[in-house]
Amino acid sequence: MAIEMKVPPVGESITEVTIAAWNKKDGDVVKMDEVLCELESDKATFELPAEAEGVLKIVAKEGDTLPIGAVICIIETVGGQTAVAPSAPVVEAVAAPAAAPVASAEPAKTIEIKVPAVGESITEVTVSSWNKKEGDSVNMDEVLCELESDKATFELPAEASGTLHIVAEAGTTLPIGGLVATITVGAGSAVAAAAPVVSTPAPAASTPVESSSSYAAGHASPAAAKALAEKGIDPATVQGSGVGGRITKEDAQSAQKPAPAPAAAPAKAAEPAPVASASGNRVDRAEKMTSLRKTVARRLVQVKNETAMLTTFNEVDMKPIMDLRGKYKDKFKEKHGVGLGFMSFFTKAVCVALKEFPAVNASIDGDSIIFHDYCDISIAVSAPKGLVVPVIRNAEQLSLAGIESEVIRLALKARDNKLTLPEMTGGTFTITNGGVFGSMLSTPIINAPQSAILGMHNIVERAVVIGGQVVVRPIMYLALSYDHRIIDGRESVSFLVRVKQLLEDPTRLLLDV
């Protein structure tokens, strides 16, 4: 009976895969669940296990690109039994004394460790780092590796005690449900019993075993082979970091062409001079994007393409707020335990303005506009792994001290990469402060599905005219980027003017006028 092995579904957005490497040859005898080949998509690498025991007939060769559901190979079985039966006498003749221990060995059980569901909006994760190595013995609930999504980092515990076999190397991106590793339970005695079989034959028989265990060493994936060919680099000179020593795309991107042999120098004595003139470090370094960086990039491009984004500007005289802070900052910190910063004034002013211009606090959902009667203010924070936007819930109900406490709490959690999903979802309006990095003016991008974002900038002393007199005042430029599909020009300008009025006269915030 012939069993067709087809390309399995490996992810919602993946429509085709490439045969990266075959572990078996055409005509080989394969066992159930034995890995036949590696399939490579644009996101990750997967292993294809045998669905039955029998003789392998390869249909698709290495480098072939196949759609989901296409036939990769065929396994021929004989009357429900494997074709390995004819070779049984050879094994018995070579290692007859070992037959009894093998028969008495406890059968091994393999447990698959897959990517768990970690959030409604998360469809894929990246293996950040492994705490264990290939072949290590692991215990139940022991942390195997860390999984990194575009929003948070999770730990993956062992589901049983046994021997670890790593399927996805560090840096591999997998969909939810993707295979991360396998744990072999109760295989210790079977492995020990099989050892004499390998050592009994003549030394010549050990060579094929050695080569089969490192079949992928020095082998480049299709994408890696193309990159090496463009650079003119021989794959044999590249050290692979993939499974079994396979050369990955990242290895190819970071590989450098070897320097010419010194023996060529005496042929032309005048040629070393141009080579020596290229001084300094000119090495290109490729780093794989993190899940967070890829998601931020994808969402920003999506916003630019799907919104009618426009930016309006204004300037604020910061002297009244600076005078107020200088007068009360010590008493404020003594009473509330937090410093009095600019962010609390801006957040409070924005909340007042959002109540007066609800379209700025709205979002589009299909053919409907969703208006929010609360202000969940997102604060853009630069974390070690990239930009994150934690949310201050019901900011309109908080005092200046309450807002400052929330800003400090969320900023510290962002710095330590401990923000949770609920703390980063559901904002209705965003404030970003590029001024802390020295930015004078910018056009921030909307944080979808919100309809507007306010950009703060640095404070610079400028000459301005007040009451017919030229005076020097600390001025900050403000930028409001908004979605013109919801917010009209009159509303956007009026909103920014209202924020300016509240900041230049902070008493308005206290009197609600």
Burial of 268 (0-12, 13-18, 19+ CB in 10 A): exposed
Q: Please tell me the predicted confidence (pLDDT) of residue 261.
A: 55
- Please give the sequence-ordered ranges of beta strands (E in DSSP) within 124-213, or none if there are none: 124-130, 137-138, 143-148, 153-157, 162-166, 173-175, 179-185
Per DSSP, the chain holds a count of helices (H) and strands (E) of 13, 27
Report the b/e string of 390-418 with b at 16+ CB within 10 A: bbbeebbebebbbbbbbbeebbebbeeee
Q: What is the pLDDT of residue 103?
A: 42
Tokens for 261? 């042999």
Q: Would you state the CATH architecture of domain 301-511?
A: 2-Layer Sandwich (3.30)
Q: Which residues contact 371 (CB under 8 A, 6 or more apart)?
A: 358, 359, 361, 362
Class of domain 216-258+284-288: few secondary structures
Q: Is 201 strand, coil or helix?
A: coil
- Give the angle subtended at the CA of 419 by the CAs of 414 and 423, to the nearest 5°: 115
The pLDDT of residue 201 is 43
Distance CA 142, CA 131 (A): 9
* Residue indicated by tokens 């007068």: 327
In this predicted structure, what is the pLDDT of residue 78?
A: 66
Instruction: List own/partner pairs for 264-268 with CB under 8 A and 24 or more apart.
Output: none
- Candidates 330, 316, 320; CA nearest to 496 is 316
Boundaries of every domain in the chain: 109-185, 216-258+284-288, 301-511
CB 42 within 8 A of CB 124: no
pLDDT at site 275:
53
> Crossing angle, helix 342-356 and helix 489-504, to 10 degrees?
140
> Are 450 and 363 a contacting pair, CB within 8 Å?
yes
> What do you get for the CA distance between the two ends of the chain, in Å?
84
Burial class (CB in 10 A: 0-12, 13-18, 19+), 70: middle
- Topology of domain 109-185, per CATH? OB fold (Dihydrolipoamide Acetyltransferase, E2P) (2.40.50)
Buried b or exposed e, range 215-230, using 16+ CB within 10 angstroms: bbebbbbbbbbebbee
Instruction: Give the helix ranges, DSSP H, for 385-454.
Output: 400-415
Distance of alpha carbon 429 from alpha carbon 440, whole angstroms = 22
Number of CB atoms found within 10 A of residue 278's CB: 7
Rounded to an integer, what distance in angstroms lies between the CA atom of residue 49 and that of residue 8?
Answer: 11
Q: How many CB atoms lie within 10 A of CB 478?
A: 19
The set of residues, in sequence order, having a beta carbon less than 8 Å from that of 287 and lying 6+ positions away, is none
Residue by residue, pLDDT tens for the chain (513 residues) are 788 888 888 766 677 888 888 889 988 998 888 889 888 776 567 788 888 888 999 999 888 888 888 899 998 886 544 444 444 444 443 444 444 444 445 567 888 899 888 766 678 888 888 888 898 998 888 889 888 877 677 788 888 888 999 998 888 888 888 899 999 887 453 443 344 444 444 444 444 434 444 445 666 666 677 777 777 787 777 777 766 677 777 777 777 766 665 554 454 545 555 555 566 778 888 887 777 778 778 888 988 888 999 999 999 999 999 999 999 999 999 999 999 999 999 999 999 999 999 999 999 998 899 999 999 999 998 887 778 899 999 999 999 999 999 999 998 988 888 888 889 888 999 999 998 889 999 999 999 899 999 999 999 999 999 989 999 999 999 999 999 999 999 999 999 999 999 999 998 888 877
**Both structure tokens of 512:** 């609600």
Report whether 194 contacts 102 (CB < 8 A). yes
| Helix residue ranges, H only, 232-288 | 249-254, 272-277
Give the Cα separation of 265 and 83 in Å (integer): 60
Helices 400-415 & 342-356 angle (0-180, nearest 10):
110
CA distance 183 to 108: 10
| Cβ atoms within 10 Å, residue 132 | 16
Domains 109-185 and 301-511 share a fold: no
SS3 21: strand
The residues assigned a catalytic role are 484, 488
